[in-house]
Amino acid sequence: MRLLLTNDDGVGAPGIAVLARHVARWIDDAPNDEIREAMVVAPHTNYSGMSAAVGDLFDHPSVEYRRHHIAGAESIAAYGLEAPPALCALLGALGSFNFQPDVIISGINAGANVGRSVLHSGTVGAILTGAQVGLSGMAISVQWGEDVHFDTAGAVAMEVLEHLMAAPSRTLWNLNVPNLTAAELRGVKRGRISTAGILKSAGPQAGGEPLADEGQMPLRIGAATPELGDVSDEAADDDGALVAAGYASLTPLRGPHEDTNTALDDTLNLALGAITRHLHARR
């Protein structure tokens, strides 16, 4: 089994170093008849909030990279790329570093990625991109705090890794871990994606002064990330509520796919008919 490690906080971030050390021990503990390998291909700097963006590949059809050293995981080759997480995942998944992975592990992100923030997360965007070329993946995030317990998140991730590797291809899991020690962690539960968003509001409130032609737009950050705000309106099995209650939340995700809901057929056919009539009328 070959693992591709990436993240959105950058190749020098503490979260990916902890993850790499966990994976290095996993490699060392491999049975004699089992191949275990890993490689790190991650952004050279922080690309948080980039979702599955790959950048403008047409104006910039090359990517600069540099070998990186991760203390305690010297057996794992690591590269920092001037590229967002999704492009790192794509380049690694395509075997660009003479390494063909089976699974992508993204993280450990410094801050929770729950609720609607999964749409914007570069940590999650990396595994969504990997799934488009056939790989399974797991995004790992830990709730932010004064002293972030990356090691707890790493240990939980390694516990579920074996089951991810046995799952069908393109299986995607989003793992969020509370900022607790392993002894304080209450357990792991399946979490639903909550309605919590990364952004609560922006700019002046309704009825305020009209906007100037230019200026600063103040943003009010929502409960979804990174520390978790008020989750009192969430159901007990929503991802944010689980993390706030001291449980790790494991959520299966699904990447972009065609909407095959037959209830949309009538509307779609009406649109196709209107376009067809318009094109015929122009001839």
How does pLDDT run across 11-41, given as a tens digit for each residue? 999 999 999 999 999 999 999 989 999 999 9
Does the predicted model carry a pTM greater than 0.85? yes
For residue 215, count CB atoms less than 10 angstroms from its CB and return exposed for 0-12, middle for 13-18, buried for 19 or more. Answer: exposed
The answer to whether residue 54 sits within a structural domain is yes
More confident residue, 126 or 259: 126
> Which amino acid is residue 237, in one-letter code?
D
**Which DSSP string corresponds to the chain?**
-EEEEE-SS-TTSHHHHHHHHHHHHHHHT--TT---EEEEEEESS--TT-TT----TTT-----EEEE--TT-TTSEEEEESS-HHHHHHHHHTTTTS---SEEEEEEEES---GGGGGT-HHHHHHHHHHTTT-EEEEEEE---SS--HHHHHHHHHHHHHHHHHSPTT-EEEEEE-S--TTT--EEEE-B--S--SEEEESSPTTSPPPPSS----EEE-SSSSS----TTS-TTBHHHHHHTTEEEEEEE--------GGGHHHHHHHHHHHHHHHHHT-
The answer to whether residue 162 sits within a structural domain is yes
The answer to whether residue 263 sits within a structural domain is no
The answer to whether residue 125 sits within a structural domain is yes
As a dihedral over the C-alpha atoms of residue 195, residue 139, residue 60, residue 70, rounded to 10 degrees, the angle is 140
Instruction: Flag whether pLDDT at 206 surpasses 60.
Output: no
**Where residue 208 falls among pLDDT bands split at 50, 70, 90?**
low
| CATH code (residue 141) | 3.40.1210.10
Q: Nearest 5°: phi and psi at 78?
A: -130, 140
Q: Report CA 140 to chain centroid distance, whole Å.
A: 7
The answer to whether residue 220 sits within a structural domain is no
pLDDT tens sequence across 236-253: 999 999 999 999 999 999
**Where residue 198 falls among pLDDT bands split at 50, 70, 90?**
low
Q: What is the pLDDT of residue 196?
A: 75
Share of the chain above pLDDT 70, in %: 92
Q: What is the pLDDT of residue 193?
A: 92
Share of the chain above pLDDT 90, in %: 69
Q: What is the pLDDT of residue 61?
A: 86
More confident residue, 118 or 153: 153
Q: How long is the chain? A: 283
Total domains present in the chain: 1
Q: State which residues form the domain around 157.
A: 2-192+229-253
The answer to whether residue 249 sits within a structural domain is yes
Q: What is the pLDDT of residue 227?
A: 62
The answer to whether residue 160 sits within a structural domain is yes
The answer to whether residue 269 sits within a structural domain is no
For residue 205, count CB atoms less than 10 angstroms from its CB and return exposed for 0-12, middle for 13-18, buried for 19 or more. Answer: exposed
Q: What is the arithmetic mean of pLDDT over 142-168?
A: 95
Q: How many C-beta atoms surround the C-beta of residue 194 within 10 A? A: 26
pLDDT tens sequence across 94-138: 999 999 999 999 999 999 999 888 999 999 999 999 999 999 999
Contact yes or no for 123/85 (Cβ under 8 A)? yes
